[in-house]
Amino acid sequence: MEYEKKEQMKHYEELLRTFFTDHTKDVMKQPRSFIRYPFIDPGSIYDGNVWNFFDHQLEDGYIPMMIEVADWPEPYLNMRHKEGVLMNMHKPFLCTQICLISDYVKDYTWMEENLEGIRKYFACYDRNYYYENCGLYVWRDDIMIGMDNDPATFGRPPFSTANIFLNSFMCVELAAAAKIFRTFGQKEEAAELLKKREALIQSIQSECWDKRDQFFYSVDVDIKTRKYDWFHQGLGVFWKTLPIKVRVWSGFIPMYAGIATEEQAAAMVKHIFDDTTFGSDYGLTTLAKDEKMFDLSVTNNPSNWLGPIWLVANYVVFRGLMNYGYRDEAEIICERTLTLLGRDLEKSGCLYEYYDPFTGEPIMNGGFINWNVLAVNMADELRGKKPMSFSD
């Protein structure tokens, strides 16, 4: 039985590798309109969409979350920003991507002219999205935040959510930025970035970790004493945040970012494989099954992160398990992921954006490639290949 399982996994892996090799060209695009350089898009309905870029940074440091070729003369989010409408900015993956590329080509010199742009990028984040009272970063709203309808942010007041997704990945981003500046001899600046990272980790630990539930939550930062006439003149609100107690897959990102303690990681592993919450034969659900928002509707803009299987979530959890020594558990996630995509490829001849966690059936957006490639990364990393994350 074990032999048959290994052969099946080998078959799915080879099938997927061949598919990705044959379809790489489908997502590699030539310059068009105001996108001045060759670029990669996710495939499917996202033709002409770009997420990682530096070319459209504004003078104040703002970088739009996404650029999309359409009937406007420049990226839509930049147009809105210039009108004085503060939108979400580029997710904290810019410096991480720079390190990935530079480490791969073994050359950082191509980025030296953009060091000032990196400084402005962080300054813009600190000026517009940092909530000093609790030491955490906030989203403006739910627009293009990477997991569209996350209940912790979706539909909530502007600038009220310090999302665990944003803050965990910002810890990784600050470390990547420190490496970039250290590479160019800017040791003091690198040290300051690492100091900011440590402060952010402490804030995540104190505000986002729930001791009772043994889970990381996003938190509400719109907390203050609201006085009225002669009421509320005594003890005021002294807590800095309130936990938004909705169990979302992003609660596992601190393991990917390496900022969870060993004890916290041990507690969260139990959540990953709990069939009543996140456990699925195809990885993990993006929202715990027992949350009242759990839903598998077919929807785009916003995409549905209320339970379906997304490969990027599977990979982030896989990598977190590997980071903390849970190799056997990581292998289970890998096998479930290969099974999900391998079966879909055999049946439909393509891959989809997200999947039903109970049946493994695709939900929508056939032809999607993007982070589905991470399935073979898992297999490689289990065999000892260096993970796709920058090395300090």
pLDDT 10s digits, 314-340: 999 999 999 999 999 999 999 999 999
Residue 228 lies in a domain: no
Residue 1, pLDDT above cutoff 70: no
- The verdict on residue 245 lying in a domain is yes
Give the tens place of pLDDT for each residue, 88-116.
999 999 999 999 999 999 999 999 999 99
pLDDT of the residue at 391: 59
Query: 248: domain CATH number?
Result: 1.50.10.10
**Inside any domain, residue 343:** yes
- Tally the domains of the chain: 1
Residue 153 belongs to some domain of the structure: yes
> Is the pLDDT score of 228 beyond 90?
no
128, part of any domain:
yes
151-196 tens-digit pLDDT: 999 999 999 999 999 999 999 999 999 999 999 999 999 999 999 9
Asked if the structure places residue 292 within a domain, the reply is yes
pLDDT class for 352, splitting at 50, 70, 90? very high
Identify the band that residue 257 occupies on the pLDDT scale cut at 50, 70 and 90: very high
pTM for the model: 0.95
Domain that holds residue 194: 94-223+239-382
Q: What's the 3-state SS for the chain?
A: CHHHHHHHHHHHHHHHHHHHHHHHHHHEECCECCECCCEECCEHHHCCEECCCCCCCCCCCCCECCEECCCCCCCHHHHHHHCCCCCCECCCCHHHHHHHHHHHHCCCHHHHHHHHHHHHHHHHHHHHHEECCCCEECECCCCCCCCCCCCCCCCCCCCCEECHHHHHHHHHHHHHHHHHHHHCCCHHHHHHHHHHHHHHHHHHHHHHEECCCCEECCEECCCCCCCECCECCCCCCCCCCEECCCCEHHHHHHHHHCCCCHHHHHHHHHHHCCCCCCEECCEECCECCCCCCCCCCCCCCCCCCCCCECHHHHHHHHHHHHHCCCHHHHHHHHHHHHHHHHHHHHHHCCCCCEECCCCCCEEECCCECHHHHHHHHHHHHHCCCCCCCCCC
In a domain, 171, yes or no: yes
Task: Classify residue 52: in a domain, yes or no.
Answer: no
More confident residue, 240 or 26: 240
